[in-house]
Amino acid sequence: MKKRIILIIMMIFLVLMAFARAGELAGMEVHVENALPGILDVTFLPDDSIEAGTQIYKDGTKKAGINVTLNDTNGLEMIEANAYIEGPSIIEESPLNLINILNISLDTGIYSGDFLLDNSDEAGTYTVNVSVTDQTDTVDYLTTFRYEAVAQIRHVGTGQTYATIQEAINDSNTGDIIYVHDGSYNFSDNLGADFRGRNSLKLMGESKEGVVLEGNQYGTGIVLMDNENIQIEKMTISNGYHGIFIENSTNISVKDIIVANSTWEGIRVDISSGVEILLRFRHTIS
């Protein structure tokens, strides 16, 4: 009888201990650490060079893209991603909102956005800060790309990329060669080739007498104002008010050119230095 009483007391004690332990567990708070979003990879399109780093070549208006691979163990529903682009020129689309284009898994996806670059944007290094937030935490990733001017030959003429010399000049980059195929290019009351705002270019005809810039006694064949490092070779400029007008420019080379039947001056040079001119004048008297 005594042993039975002791056993009952021990059972009651164990039950009370179990209830006490359950009470302790009920009062505990379980903390789950909030996971930060992770940026796994950032790539640019196009990447025009096989060299290390990203290089985008200047060539007219070009659409560039940013692809960001990221994950968040809390899920992608609340993710917001943006790219802030800074550099020598202002990128109008910045800050660029990156949109989810593909879910690789429940917690990993690819986010993408596009922006435009054109010849008015300056070459150089652009810094890109990719910022990702899941409404609780924010993670930043800093990277760069190079916007490079690469010399090209731009063909002008019938059936070529450009119908007029001016179109090719407007689309040109530093170091480009504007190659004019044989033919007649009328400039009437306007300018045959206006180089203002462009430097380090070469305008070259297929042949001296085969490429003819033809005016109507009022326009000017070629205008150089505030230019540097311009070369002009192999063409005829006929029936302009001026054949070539050069002002406030440096390191200008004019070679193997015929200037014919100008109304006022075949070539005029004002306030310029380093100008080299080798040409032939032709004037017809009726």
Q: What is the pLDDT of residues 122-176, one digit of tens each?
A: 889 999 999 999 878 899 999 999 998 778 899 999 999 999 999 999 988 888 9
Contact criterion met (CB below 8 Å) for 47 and 67: no
82's CB contacts (< 8 A; 6+ apart) are 95, 96, 97, 98, 130, 131
Pairwise CA distance, residues 81 & 99, whole Å = 7
pLDDT band at 31 (very low <50, low <70, confident <90, very high): very low
Pairwise CA distance, residues 65 & 52, whole Å = 18
Measured between alpha carbons, how far is residue 94 from residues 58, 114, 229 in Å? 19, 10, 34
Residue 119 backbone phi and psi in degrees, to 5: -65, -15
Instruction: Show the tokens assigned to 135.
Output: 């409404």
Helical ranges in the chain per DSSP H: 2-27, 165-170
pLDDT per residue as tens digits for the range 39-67: 999 999 998 887 778 899 887 788 999 99
Contact criterion met (CB below 8 Å) for 35 and 74: yes
Instruction: Show the tokens assigned to 245.
Output: 């007008």
Pairwise CA distance, residues 57 & 46, whole Å = 9
Measured between alpha carbons, how far is residue 58 from residues 63, 132, 146 in Å? 11, 29, 10
Find the mean pLDDT for residues 23-35.
49
Pairwise CA distance, residues 187 & 222, whole Å = 10
To the question of pTM greater than 0.85 for the whole model, the response is no
Residue spans of beta strands (DSSP E) within the chain: 38-45, 55-58, 62-71, 80-86, 96-105, 108-117, 124-133, 138-149, 153-156, 177-180, 183-188, 191-194, 201-205, 211-215, 220-225, 228-238, 242-247, 250-260, 265-270, 273-282
**Per-residue buried b or exposed e for 236-269, using 16+ beta carbons within 10 Å of the residue's own CB:** bbbbbbbbbbbeebebbebeebbbbbbbeebbeb
pLDDT per residue as tens digits for the range 207-224: 999 999 999 888 899 999
- Lowest mean pLDDT: which of 5-9, 57-61, 197-201, 272-276? 5-9
pLDDT per residue as tens digits for the range 97-125: 999 999 999 999 999 999 999 878 888 99
Amino acid sitting at position 47: D
Residue-level pLDDT at 30: 41
Contact criterion met (CB below 8 Å) for 182 and 210: yes
- The continuous run of DSSP H or E covering 189 comes out as none
| CATH of 38-149 among 3.30.2350.10, 3.30.70.270, 3.65.10.10, 2.60.40.770 | 2.60.40.770
Contact criterion met (CB below 8 Å) for 65 and 44: yes
Domain boundaries, the chain: 38-149, 153-282
Residue-level pLDDT at 213: 95
The 8-class DSSP code of residue 226 comes to S
CATH code 2.160.20.10 for 153-282:
yes
Residue-level pLDDT at 103: 95
